[in-house]
Structure 1
Amino acid sequence: MDFALEPYEEAASSSWLICNTCGTQFPTADRSAVKTCYVCDDPRQYVPPTGQSFTTMADIRASGHVNEFDAYKHDDRVTSIHTVPRFAIGQRAILIRTPHGNILWDCITYLDAETIDKINKLGGLKAIVISHPHFYSSHIQWARAFQCPVYTSSEDLRWTTTPSAHRKPLTEIETDILPGVKAIKLGGHFPGSSVVLFDGRLFTADTLMATPAGIGKWDVDALGGKREKPPGLNSFSFLWSFPNSIPLPADEIHRMWGILKAYNFRSTHGILVGMDIEDEKIKDRVLESMKIQTRAMGNGYDRLI
């Protein structure tokens, strides 16, 4: 390791405050010190009608939450980890097992001894990579528990809450995390929003948001007969704010494609369990979706090639 390892102090951190809406952990138990979550105060997020509220890791454990592990049916090297009952945003983390060690793509808030034990039995973690600030959650506690670095984009460091030597800023558009695993900064949703590419699989979180039309099964009809996917359906959307439905400008979508078009991939894996698309033509569907969105906004879809 090229940094000083920090202890995972489970007992102390279990009383730290956690935003109920986005799952971000703040390194204090003092409720008078944290009265609002600045992640949720940003116009990309929201505070619910019930108002701002906080919990703790200890309270989440006491409420009966558990983390479920679901192996991906098309590739047993890929395992989704998500908290049940759903907590905060409800995203999944994805464990990617490689010959050179395991990567955790994105992070969830809830961490317990059972989760640590399960991941260690699968080989532990060599690194954690997080797509964007909405999933920063309790990532420093995960990094300390597994004694590994956690990579976040340099552009988005101001959204972090806990200083740590375990955090490593991604400063380049492309970074090799391990042999065969690349973190790629596309921007869009946040300036440093990223994806990870492993063996033709693109892990997207909501940097590219898979849509219901994208996930839907269009190749058969109600009687089991073959059919073609109807024209004009998008597979992904590109938004500055997903909960508040604010789209990205066309120029930003063009810029993202200028980076992504250099890479080949045959599947995408999105924010939630089940948001997986297996299709040898999925890269074409990303481009098609970008054209559909920019055309709908009346801007330069013909510049996307």
Structure 2
Amino acid sequence: MTSYSSSPSPSLSFLICTTCGTQYPTTDRTSLTTCFICDDPRQYVPSVPGGRPTFTTLEALQRDPSVKNEFHPLSLPSCGNDDRFVSVVTTPKFGIGQRAVLVRTTTGSGKRVNILWDCLSYIDDETIETLRRRWGGLHAVVISHPHYYSSHLEWADRFDCPVYLAAEDERWLARRDDGKQVFLREVETSIVVDGENTGVKVIKLGGHFPGSLVLLYDGRLLTADTVMMTPSGRSNWTVDALGRPRERPKGVNTFSFMWSIPNMIPLSADELVRMWQIIKDYDYKSAHGPFLGWDIEGEDLKARMLESMQIQVRAMGYAQHPFLQLSL
């Protein structure tokens, strides 16, 4: 079999934005003078003189011996390793630096089905071989929002699998392939592979982007940027300075809800209310954000989701908003 790195495919030379990792269907550097993803107010321009965008290619990245993808099984205090959820990260950090998560499911018939949550720009022979040999490849890719569209068609082509995207965010695609891209139009979508339900639910919350998604499987909520873990949310509040049990301080949030994360623009109160009306119908015991180590667990996470939304609404000056009266 011809290796990926030696493949004559022109996509290896397609330009990739070094700031956000979006791959464009062109090799002509004179025709691509800016990145429309980075020009959007939700993203940001590179910190170089004049904000000049820069581009690379998969071909160039694959030639760099320091660049690789690493695999990290989920590890939580309550259960140790849960290798049904495996973070995939590119090192050294490239673009935004997000993780993709390999979700290893089992259908009712016992078939193992692998779904990649979010995507990375970098893919090479070693990544492909590891996923195929160790876990049986990929059967589907689901991407939370346009900032992580990256080079998803490279992954779809190599694993011959569909990519699920929110229909509301179709305008943010730099590359298109009607045979691979599946646009989700419902609030909830159950991922089905070869006629079998995988148990994976994709939920459209919106907010950050109109179609921003989260993924729920076996009580674990994968949120990407749709729901962000705060530093206080990721902190350990279980013991005090003397090692005695303690409770989380009152009024400390767990999550934040942002229209723009890097530019620190929050979502409106009305948008949070709309998102809550969707997410309140689901139960989860852990939540997992866009970066390695951004994992929170607890039986009270739904209550903390509501509490965090209410803290944000109150902090924006809506002290009398009816939403503040809600409780579980």
TM-score over 0.5 (shorter chain): yes
CA distances 1:16-38 after superposition (whole Å, capped 9, x unpaired):
10001000000111111211100
Cα distance in 2, alignment partners of residues 278 and 200 from structure 1: 10
1:103 aligns with 2:115: yes
Structure 2 residue aligned with 1:139: 152
SS of the residue aligned with 2:202? Answer: strand
1:278 Cα offset (Å): 1.2
Structure 2 residue aligned with 1:20: 18
Cα distance in 2, alignment partners of residues 119 and 223 from structure 1: 45
Report the AA paired with residue 32 of structure 2.
V
1:153 aligns with 2:166: yes
Structure 2 residue aligned with 1:240: 259
Structure 1 residue aligned with 2:237: 218
8 Å Cα contact 1:102-1:124 kept in structure 2: yes
Structure 1 residue aligned with 2:110: none
CA distances 1:73-128 after superposition (whole Å, capped 9, x unpaired):
24221100000000010000000001130110000110001101111120211110
Aligned residues: 298
SS of the residue aligned with 2:136? Answer: coil
Cα distance in 1, alignment partners of residues 239 and 22 from structure 2: 42
Cα distance in 1, alignment partners of residues 63 and 228 from structure 2: 33
SS of the residue aligned with 2:13? Answer: coil
Where do 4+ consecutive residues of structure 1 move more than 3 Å?
A: 8-11
SS of the residue aligned with 2:87? Answer: strand
Cα distance in 2, alignment partners of residues 17 and 208 from structure 1: 30
8 Å Cα contact 1:254-1:303 kept in structure 2: no
1:61 Cα offset (Å): 2.0
8 Å Cα contact 1:66-1:83 kept in structure 2: yes
Equivalent residues in 2 for 1:269-288 (5 A)? 269-288=288-307
Structure 2 residue aligned with 1:254: 273
Report the more deviating stretch, 208-217 or 117-126: 117-126
Cα distance in 2, alignment partners of residues 152 and 10 from structure 1: 28
CA shift in 2, pair 1:10/1:41, >3 Å? farther
Structure 1 residue aligned with 2:39: 41
Note the residue ranges of structure 2 that are not aligned, 5 or more in a row: 1-5, 108-112
Cα distance in 1, alignment partners of residues 54 and 172 from structure 2: 19
Q: Percent identity?
A: 55
Equivalent residues in 2 for 1:1-305 (5 A)? 11-50=9-48, 51-63=52-64, 64-73=66-75, 74=79, 75-100=82-107, 101-121=113-133, 122-164=135-177, 165-178=179-192, 179=197, 180-299=199-318, 300=321, 301-302=323-324, 304-305=326-327
Report the more deviating stretch, 24-33 or 183-192: 24-33
1:10 Cα offset (Å): 6.4
TM-score, normalising length: structure 2: 0.88
Cα distance in 2, alignment partners of residues 103 and 230 from structure 1: 37
Cα distance in 2, alignment partners of residues 141 and 130 from structure 1: 14
Report the AA paired with residue 137 of structure 2.
G
SS of the residue aligned with 1:244? Answer: coil
**CA RMSD between the two structures:** 1.4
8 Å Cα contact 1:267-1:278 kept in structure 2: yes
Report the AA paired with residue 90 of structure 2.
T
TM-score, normalising length: structure 1: 0.95
Cα distance in 1, alignment partners of residues 225 and 304 from structure 2: 16
Cα distance in 1, alignment partners of residues 83 and 21 from structure 2: 28
1:48 Cα offset (Å): 1.8
Structure of higher CA gyration radius? 2
Cα distance in 2, alignment partners of residues 230 and 145 from structure 1: 48
